Structure formats: structure tokens, C-alpha cells
Amino acid sequence: MPQPRELLRQIPAVDELLRRPGLAPLWSEIGPAAARRVIAAELDALRRAPSPAAVAALEPRLVEAARRYRQASLRPVINATGVVLHTNLGRAPLGAPAAARLAAVAANYTNLEFDLATGRRGRRDRHLEPLLAALTGAERTLVVNNNAAALVLALNTLVLENAGEVLVSRGELVEIGETFRIADIVTRGGATLVEVGATNRTRLADYRAALSPRTRLILRVHRSNFTQEGFVEQPPLAELAALAREAGIPLLEDLGSGCLSPQPGMEGEPTVAASLRAGVDLVTYSGDKLLGGPQAGLMSGRAALLDRLRANPLYRALRLDRLRLAALEATLDAYGREAWDEIPVLAMLAGEGLEARVRAFATQIPAWLRAEAVPGESVAGGGARPGQRLRGLVIALAPDGVSAGELQARLRRAAPPIIARVGRDRCLLDLRTVFPGQEAELLAALERARRE
């Protein structure tokens, strides 16, 4: 056994490794500065735990480190979980036309804020207006970073500026995502939250009794991410709108998942158009939930209110960039043409032809995985359609010789990574969220998973 000091002497210098013929092409790919950093990090690790085997394996380790460096951190994965709007996996995937529009706009100058007719300065929020007016009946729509931002902008403009009160039912004081709570957004900027009714029942009379000269707004929150059943009651939207009108204050509805047109798999979901018809003054909703577009927060409603929101300096900090505007316009254009198959989220929720796909796919899976098509359930996810189960067939794998959890981990390390679920000691693949064009890659990864 060589002594540690002797081992340390065997570790090559950075410059020598930079010149090595076997490695030089790799370094020219990532550039000299990155190459030095990658080499230095590997050498540091080696000096901390020197061993003959580690010294001998230095070259392959450098190749692997350079590969890791080159690999993007944010990259596509195959979602085999069946959770259509998986927040951790980026929610709604864009349809091909929307992705193409985004790419075209990304690599070019655009008329983002330029009026091609007059040659003067234009407005970015005008591009979507005709489509959104047709789809929702709204006088005007403004678009910002996400629905949370839309809520912040609306509350900041309509309430916080003059530190008034907001009425919210106790049954709607929701937490939207990690620690983002309706109650906190309302109170953070100095407005007073006035809780109305009880957790399970809030009547119109409760709202009426809570009105005061300082009330600036009634906020209604759609239960898009949880359900209540049993002894529950809330006033119909139209009655609440009438009360707000009578009091001379706006009714704001946070519709959350924001359905534009209920398609198969989202039956009974309230639409933006229906809320506006019921008399809501301003509706906020997400672009990347049931709408199936890019991350965005849309605010549709009365022109006078939206003009005030637009004039708030916060709008500039929250507004949407041209890439997502392009993707959103293309998605809305698909709605306009009723081209449902261009919006992946809608196709996945509908799940048409899923059973036949699952059965055909299951027969191609290598025998050692002992695949079986079994009844299963997918969910919409992403804070939309809670309690709804989308029934279908899923593929259950009981691999020979490795645990379901180990197979799940191997699939996650595949290229592209495959995200699967584990249930009752089996690894579950739900093809509802796998694009038909990804099936070959999925199959190849399943074949490779044995040898890992």
C-alpha cells in the first residue's frame, strides 16, 4: 500500500489534466474557465479521501463531472405519475403550436409594445384582449406573473391604497401553496381582513352585517384546491354581486384554476365567463392550471377597475414577459378555434383512448418487470378539481429482484428522467400524462433499468 503522502504525489496537476489528449476535447466543449473549476473540485475531493482506486479512477470521474456540468439543471422529464397539473413538474405542458410561437418570439424582436399601424408606442396587454373578450365576455383583461401576483395587485390597488377592509368568508380563508395564505396577502399591506360567517356556512346576511363605511371589497375564493361537504352553505355569486353593487364596492373572485370552457374531465367547473355574467367585477385565475397555458395570472373584468390596476406601479414589477405572452396567445387561439387537441392538459383530463394505449403498451414491457394493467386513478393536481378522481388503467410493475422503490429511483436517473409513483409495493406508470410520442423512450428506459 502506498503511503498517503506518496498517493498525494501521484495526483496530477490541473494544467497536466487540461492538456491530456483524452480529456482535451471535453475541456474545449465547456471552455477553459469551467474546465479549471471542474478539475479543481474533483482534485479537492480526491485529496480529502485519497486511495489508489480513486487516483486510478480520476479520468472517468472527470469525464462524468464534465458531463454533469454540461447537463442543464432544468430539463424535460417524462411525467408518469398521472397528476396532470403537477406543480413540482411545472404544471401545464404547452401544446406544440404554443411552444412554436414561443420559440419564434424568443429569437426575434417583436411588436410587444409597438403599434404597427401608427408606428407609436403600444401596450403589451392589448395583444390578448380580442381573444379574451371573446372567450370570457370581459371588457378588459390584464396579465401578470401568476394568479398569486394577480391577487396581490388587485388587493393592493383596490384595498390597501386606502387601508380599508376586505370581507372574506371563513370558509374561504385558504392556503394556496406553501405558506401563501389569503389572510396574509390581505393583511400584509395594512388592510383589515373581516372574517364573515362560519367555516362551513356563510349567508348573504353575514356579508351584509359585516359591511362598514371602510369596506372596500368583497373577496370570494373558489374552492379550487379543497372541498367542503355536509352542512355547508354559501350565497350564490349573483346575490353576492348584487350586495356589492348595492354597497358600491367591487366583488373580486379568485377563481384559481380558471376554466375557460369545461371540457370532458372537468364537468361542473365554474367558468370565467359564468362568473362575469353573474356580476363579479373582477376575476383572477391561473394560466397554467385548467387553462393549459404558460404560468400567468389573468385578471378579467370591468375596464374601469383594470385601468386602476394597470396604473399601479406594482403592475410593472409583476407583468408578463413576451415569451409567455406568445405562448398564452397561442393557447387562447386554440380555444378560439376549439382545437382542444392542441391543449395537452385538456386532452389528458379527457383521457380519450387511454385504455387501449395502456393495454398495448403493457404487452411491450420486458418480462422481468411483470407488468399488469390495473384499474387506477389519476388526478388533476396543481390545486385544481380536488376530490375528483379520473378513473382509468395504470401499469403496475412488480420487478424481479429489485424493490418497486429501487425501480422508481432508477427511472428517475434515466435520460430523460421518468417520474413514477409507488403504491402497494408496485411501481405505477400512468400513461395519462405521458405523451404518445414519449412511449418509445419510456420503453427503452424500462429495458435499461435492469442493468443499472
Does residue 294 bind ligand PLP (CB under 6 A)?
no
Among 224, 275, 378, 438, binds ligand PLP (CB under 6 A): 224
- Closest approach, Cβ 137 to ligand PLP, in A, equals 21
> Please, which residue, 174 or 395, has the CB nearer to ligand PLP?
174
> Please, which residue, 122 or 262, has the CB nearer to ligand PLP?
262
Among 157, 263, 286, 433, binds ligand PLP (CB under 6 A): 286
Does residue 332 bind ligand PLP (CB under 6 A)?
no
Instruction: State the cell numbers at 299.
Output: 385578471
Which of 139, 127, 151 minimizes the C-alpha distance to 314?
Answer: 151
Binders of ligand PLP among residues 383 to 412 (CB under 6 A) are: 383
Binders of ligand PLP among residues 157 to 176 (CB under 6 A) are: 174, 176
* Phi then psi dihedrals of residue 108, to 5 deg: -140, 160
- Closest approach, Cβ 91 to ligand PLP, in A, equals 8
Does residue 153 bind ligand PLP (CB under 6 A)?
no
For 295, half-sphere exposure in the C-beta direction (CA atoms, 13 angstrom radius) is: 13
Candidate ranges 21-29, 153-161, 220-228, 342-350; the one touching ligand PLP (CB under 6 A): 220-228
SS3 content of the chain, % helix, strand, coil (to 5): 45, 20, 35
Does residue 148 bind ligand PLP (CB under 6 A)?
yes
Candidate ranges 57-65, 95-103, 221-229, 303-311; the one touching ligand PLP (CB under 6 A): 221-229
User: How are beta strands 165-169 and 192-196 bridged, if at all?
Assistant: parallel
> Please, which residue, 87 or 261, has the CB nearer to ligand PLP?
87
DSSP string, 370-388: -EEEEEEEEB-BTTBSTT-
Peptide bond preceding 416: is omega within 30 degrees of 0, i.e. cis?
yes
Candidate ranges 123-131, 143-151, 157-165, 343-351; the one touching ligand PLP (CB under 6 A): 143-151
Long-range pairs for 173-180 at CB < 8 Å and ≥24 separation? 173/221, 174/221, 174/223, 174/225, 174/226, 176/148, 176/225, 176/256, 176/383, 177/87, 177/148, 177/383, 180/148
Among 95, 256, 292, 294, binds ligand PLP (CB under 6 A): 256
> Please, which residue, 221 or 278, has the CB nearer to ligand PLP?
221
Among 78, 221, 259, 291, binds ligand PLP (CB under 6 A): 221
Does residue 269 bind ligand PLP (CB under 6 A)?
no
The CA distance from 194 to 72, in Å, is 47
Residue type, position 415, single letter: A
Nearest residue to ligand PLP, by Cβ distance, number only: 256
User: How are beta strands 390-397 and 371-378 bridged, if at all?
Assistant: antiparallel
- Closest approach, Cβ 147 to ligand PLP, in A, equals 3
Q: How many CB atoms lie within 10 A of CB 374?
A: 15
Q: Which residues bind ligand PLP (CB under 6 A)?
A: 146-148, 174, 176, 221-222, 224-225, 254, 256-257, 286, 297, 383
